A and B are shown apart, each in its own frame.
Chain A
Amino acid sequence: MIHFVLLISRQGKVRLAKWYTQYTVKERTKTIKQVTGAVLSRGPKLCNFLEFGETKLIYKRYASLYFCVGVDQEDNELATLETVHHFVEILDRYFGNVCELDLIFNFHKAYYILDEVLLGGHLQETSKRAIHHVVTEQDALVENAKNG
């Protein structure tokens, strides 16, 4: 299962952090620090997997953002990478050419989308269209409530 999802910018700023297993505040800070250090220092052509204590770190860079995921040792690394890509594609579809700034100003929406992709650290939906559909429908519910 996925233990955490972190979006970290090239400058080392956290843009999204979601934890699926229990980490104390201290552990969270420490993990973020370690992940940032490990990922930002990696060269471009190296593989996307890193041994990371008990867990394995799967990361991928998209433009200025690093998507980092901590998974169990026995998880399928390639499939996890595909899950990350799945998430990115859905963000892209939702925001239309997503960029870091979109995620900064709409961080809550990024969380909403993530909550439709993963639940409890497991993949929840494999169809991008379905996710896009339910997120926009919930947005419409919000808009309706505001206007009505």
Chain B
Amino acid sequence: MSLRLRELIRSVRSCKTAAEERAVIAKECATIRTAFKENDVQYRHRNVAKLLFIHMLGYPTHFGQMECLKLIAATTFPEKRIGYLGLMLMLDERQEVLMLVTNSLKNDLCHKNQYIAGLALCALGNIASAEMARDLAPEVEKLMSNSHAYVRKKAALCTIRIMKKVPELTETFYEAASRLIRDRHHGVLVGAMQLILDICLTNGPSAIAEFRSKVPDLVRIMKSLVLSGFTPDHDIGGLTDPFLQVKTLRLLRILGQGDATASDQMSDILAQVATNVEGNKNAGNAVLYECVQTIMGVESIGGLRVLAINILGRFLSNRDNNIRYVALNMLAKVVAVDTQAVQRHRSTIVDCVKDSDVSIRRRALDLVYALVNASNITTLTKELLEYLMVSDVEFKPDLTNKICALVQRFAPDKRWHIDTLIQVMDQAGGYVKDEQSRALIVLISNAPELQPYTVRRLYSVLTQSHPQRALLIVGVWCLGEYGDMLLLDGLLEDEEPVAATEASVVRLLETLLKEPMEETLIKEMLLTCTVKLSSRFPNSSPQIKAILEQYQGSISLEVQQRACEYSRLFVHEAIRPALLENMPPLNEDLTASGRANISMEGGSVDAPESPVAAATSPIPAAISPSGQVPPTQPASPQLVDLLDMNVVDEPAAPAMNAPAPAVDLLADLLGDGVAPPAPMPAAGTYPPPTSPLSAPSPADWTDISPALHVHSSALD
């Protein structure tokens, strides 16, 4: 005897443990399978119903799929009803079994009982595959003029599914759709609006032009809804059928967009809705919200727009969070059209950024970004920075980068620009993208008057414990370039003095180098910075040399190589200062193109790797002992500024890839003119590292090899 559905549910609910539940289900599934195998007709629909329950609990039920098809093919309504339900829940369009149902569907679509035709339409509308849609489209089209409203409304929505699966059929439904919007039944009208909306979305301007002639019909429908008295069937919160109103308004928006005549035709009714609909219930607000969207979306006259903006203002001050949410959402769309109107609500919007509701905060933030311009950047950035401190972790990356982008775009002056970016990096440096650090460095290098100030600020931030990554990058670069300016006088107004001496700066670098770091990039930069300071601070030169020597045995190949090469510089005392000269101002315009350049090359850089080499490129000609004048071609500026900063953690570009001029440059410098471009000596299995100075010439490998030995012995 088969268990009743109700009993199964009860016994599953009485299970105390998951294991117990599994046992009950397994037992029941076995019984159902046997019944299916024996082709038990009497209880088939009950078994499928039980399977649906089991399916909902998350157990596999695929063995019931064929039974659904059998039920659908049966003649009675109860069997069909549960069969179609099973079809929709257990199958979807990907299953091939679904094709087998096409014929049953076709029969049921033409069934004289409206409920059976309804079941078939519902199934088709929910899970039709492209093939089924193509096969059954003619039947569905016919049903749109069925005598039962129940069938017509289902056919209209079913058609949407068919169009989605087979877009080229769309045009065949134009006529039926136009006919449907003259229907009197609200269900059919809602379906018709949706159908035309989807036709317009699928076929674009041509369909929109076609249906624009229906605007007067839509206006008439709208008018009857707004003006009609109480209708018990469709009344919600004192409004007649807000669902239909919302759909109609939405369709009007699509049809009125960019068309003055159509917009003019609907302007009266839009004004009427905007002024008469009360916003004290959700349904009323839904209609108002849609109406505002339509007013702003079509070619409305100014007065109407003012009306719409006022509604949004009212929404914004509403205590209901839902209403505020949609107001922010809508203002974000309006801001592109009418910034001035939205600016008026700026303070309310900024308050919303601090709301306790994450959905509201997100919307408000989006809006604030859109509101920022040159005149309010300082105040809004202050707000955003305050928010940055308290915001959730998930917000921070986005927020940080948006602030950086805004500052970059609207900064009123360079000092404020630098100050703000340092502040952002101080608070959320871990989230700042490398491009932003790079942009700040470019900015600083182009503002000589602010360099002393900047380096003082960065120095004081770096002396705090654990500076953030982005800040370290910028700070270390600036210390290396402008460290000597720390000792100069001349504070800007309202600036706090910084007590820095040569020794303290070197000590700072030494401490920073000792900090454990996940990536070696910062360490590499620190070494470059240290060596650069050796020429800025001649008195501290011995200490610097000692520091560098500590890292000659570093376990990181990159760090080790830099330490070794930089230590070698102390041997060539004559050229060291020239080598370590300040970078020329970096080219602001080329940062972006340089980046493009890199991405084109798949992230590898086959050009001189270092600022130093690039910056000092003319020198080799002067000191080349062999008289071989290497091409004094400065590396392309695009690469200079980029690589100079060493911000990008490029995958080590094979040294062999370095272009010939670069190789020559270095060969002359360090290899004492002996630069036969020999094949690279076997550097063992070590990947050729990127040199901080430049791609090393083959000759250089002999110089470096001791370091490699150190390295390998360290590994032993």
Contact = CB atoms under 8 A, between A and B. Distances in A.
Contacts of A146: 78
Contact of A77 (B94, B325, B362): B325
Interface in A113-146: 115, 119-120, 122-130, 134, 137-138, 141-142, 145-146
A48 interface: yes
B591 interface: no
B325 A49 contact: yes
B139 to A, nearest CB: 16
A114 B649 CA distance: 55
Contacts of A124: 153-154, 157, 187, 190-191
Given A20-B126, A46-B357, A125-B187, A120 B93 contact: no
A119 B242 contact: no
Nearest to B86: A108
Interface string A34-53: 00000000010111111100
Given A104-B13, A142-B78, A119 B126 contact: yes
Nearest to B288: A78
A63 interface: no
Interface string B312-339: 0000000011111110010000000000
B140 to A, nearest CB: 12
Contacts of B289: 76, 78-79
Given A120-B158, A124-B157, A126-B241, A77 B115 contact: no
A72 B285 CA distance: 19
Given A112-B85, A119-B125, A119-B158, A77 B243 contact: no
B45 to A, nearest CB: 10
Given A51-B362, A122-B191, A126-B187, A79 B53 contact: no
Contact of A81 (B13, B187, B282): B282
Contact of A111 (B89, B150, B329, B362): B89
A22 interface: yes
Interface in A56-114: 76-79, 81-83, 85-86, 104-105, 107-108, 111-112
B286 A78 contact: yes
B158 A82 contact: no
A138 B150 CA distance: 13
Q: With a 10 A CB-CB cut-off, give which of A81, A85, A119, A130 has the most chain B CB atoms.
A: A119
B255 interface: no
Interface in B145-179: 150, 153-154, 157-158, 160-161
B660 interface: no
A82 B190 CA distance: 15
A123 B78 contact: no
B610 interface: no
Contacts of A81: 282, 286, 322
A84 B342 CA distance: 31
A130 to B, nearest CB: 7
Contact of A78 (B78, B94, B322): B322
Contacts of B118: 134
Contacts of B49: 108
Contacts of A47: 320-322, 324-325, 357, 359-360
A127 B326 contact: no
- For chain A, the bracket of interface size reads 35 or more
A55 B243 CA distance: 21
Contacts of A134: 115, 118, 150
A127 B115 CA distance: 18
Contacts of B322: 47-49, 77-78, 81
A107 B53 contact: yes
Q: With a 10 A CB-CB cut-off, give which of A45, A46, A47, A104 has the most chain B CB atoms.
A: A47
B493 interface: no
B246 A79 contact: yes
Contacts of B2: none
B76 interface: yes
Contacts of B77: 138, 141-142, 145
B337 to A, nearest CB: 16
Q: With a 10 A CB-CB cut-off, give which of A107, A120, A123, A127 has the most chain B CB atoms.
A: A120
Interface in B77-106: 77-78, 81-82, 85, 88-89, 92-94
Q: With a 10 A CB-CB cut-off, give which of A17, A22, A141 has the most chain B CB atoms.
A: A141
A13 to B, nearest CB: 9
A18 B244 CA distance: 23
Nearest to B164: A120
A119 B359 contact: no
Contacts of B92: 19, 22
A82 B126 CA distance: 22
A112 B81 contact: yes
Contacts of B194: 122-123
A141 B76 CA distance: 9
Interface string B220-250: 0000000000001110100001111011001
Contacts of A29: 58
Contacts of B157: 119-120, 122, 124
Nearest to B48: A108
Given A76-B250, A78-B282, A122-B160, A138 B9 contact: no
A77 B326 contact: yes
Contact of B326 (A78, A108, A142): A78
Contacts of A22: 92-94
A16 B89 CA distance: 10
Contact of B321 (A46, A51, A107): A46
B458 interface: no
Given A119-B157, A122-B160, A82 B243 contact: yes
B52 interface: yes
B605 to A, nearest CB: 36
B422 interface: no
Contacts of A18: 89
B186 interface: yes
A129 B234 CA distance: 9
B184 interface: no
B424 interface: no
A20 B190 CA distance: 18
A46 B85 contact: no
Given A47-B322, A119-B126, A142-B78, A126 B359 contact: no
In the A-B complex, the 9 residue pairs with the closest CB atoms: A47-B321, A78-B286, A120-B125, A125-B187, A119-B157, A79-B286, A46-B357, A142-B78, A127-B233
Given A112-B81, A119-B154, 20 more contacts: A19-B92, A46-B358, A46-B359, A47-B322, A76-B250, A78-B286, A81-B286, A82-B283, A107-B52, A111-B89, A119-B158, A120-B126, A120-B160, A122-B190, A124-B191, A125-B186, A126-B244, A129-B233, A141-B77, A142-B81
Interface of B: 6, 9, 13, 49, 52-53, 56, 58, 76-78, 81-82, 85, 88-89, 92-94, 115, 118, 121-122, 125-126, 150, 153-154, 157-158, 160-161, 186-187, 190-191, 194, 232-234, 236, 241-244, 246-247, 250, 282-283, 285-286, 289-290, 293, 320-326, 329, 356-360, 362
7 contacts: A46-B356, A83-B243, A120-B125, A122-B194, A125-B187, A126-B186, A134-B115
